[in-house]
Amino acid sequence: MKFFNVFIGSIILSTTLFSSSTQCQGIYYGNEAPDILNTKLETKTKELCYTSFALMHSGVSRTALWSAEHLTREGLQSKSKRSNDFHPEEQLSSNERSELSDYSRSGYDRGHLSPSADMSTKAAQHECFTLANMVPQNGDNNRGIWADIEGTTRQLTKSKGELYVITGPLFIGSSIQRLKGRVFVPTKIYKAIYDPSSGQGAAYLVNNAAGRDYEVISISELEKMAGIRLFPKMSASAKQTAMDLPVPQEGNSHSSHSNSSNTNKDEDIFRIIEKLFKWMVH
């Protein structure tokens, strides 16, 4: 079976064409960001650094290519209240970023890559609600199997002590749907996990669709699909074999996704308040 990547028509794995150096400190394993191996994925990319995560944004898809976290047992001991303040990313130009209007009545959730429930401070909560950290996600998937994968990853972190996690979309197929003709809708979503204590890793992979189906695949297999070297300092041999990942436990963290739907009630309230403020001023 031949996979086609929307950016280039076919995935081409060649020499590294994007530097793995990063301005985002303390996020990536060995402080090396993923290498983009696919020339077309490099177009209109911009690295964004936040308090608790970092991402590589694509102005082509108007989503992140990946969002990365360094999760620790200590960091997950405290959790800040979910903010729900979805907002466009001001560090990106308006013609390369997604807007709240792109998701409005789209039929898709604004699905977090680095999840809200991982964020331990008020500042980190606000940051993770940037639309740069979102992808259009099937609602049943987002609040079902994906929420359980996120919760299981947190439990695994508490067991292991620390994990390096990279979450991202895959756009596989010859015809990719777009929200409002702008924001690419991923066909699959992955969560790649590296355990520094054992040197092993693996990834959860789901279709962006309803249901509870998922796969656990090796890092090597995922890198070939994504056209990205996710963990540059992970040994090539370890990438070939998928470590055992826990079965996602149903109902692990549904509450953290309670307001991610595209119903956009929060935006509607914001617009009403904004109109009232303008009326009062004038």
* Residue 119 · residue 130 · CB < 8 Å: no
pLDDT at 21: 80
* pLDDT at residue 276, rounded to an integer: 53
From the candidates 112, 254, 257, 282, which is the catalytic residue? 112
Distance between the two ends of the chain, CA-based, in angstroms? 62
Domains along the chain with CATH numbers = 29-281 (3.40.570.10)
Q: What are 129-172's pLDDT values in tens digits?
A: 999 999 999 999 999 999 999 999 999 999 999 999 999 999 99
8 Å CB contact between 209 and 138: yes
3-state secondary structure of 135: strand
Choose from 5-19, 57-71, 78-92 the range with maximum mean pLDDT. Answer: 57-71
Assign 80 a pLDDT band (cuts: 50, 70, 90): confident
| 245 in Cβ contact with 198 (< 8 Å) | no
Reply yes or no on whether 112 is catalytic: yes
* Count of beta carbons in the 10 Å neighbourhood of residue 69: 27
Q: In this model, does residue 277 exceed pLDDT 70? A: no
pLDDT in tens, 177-230: 999 999 999 999 999 999 999 999 999 999 999 999 999 999 999 999 999 999
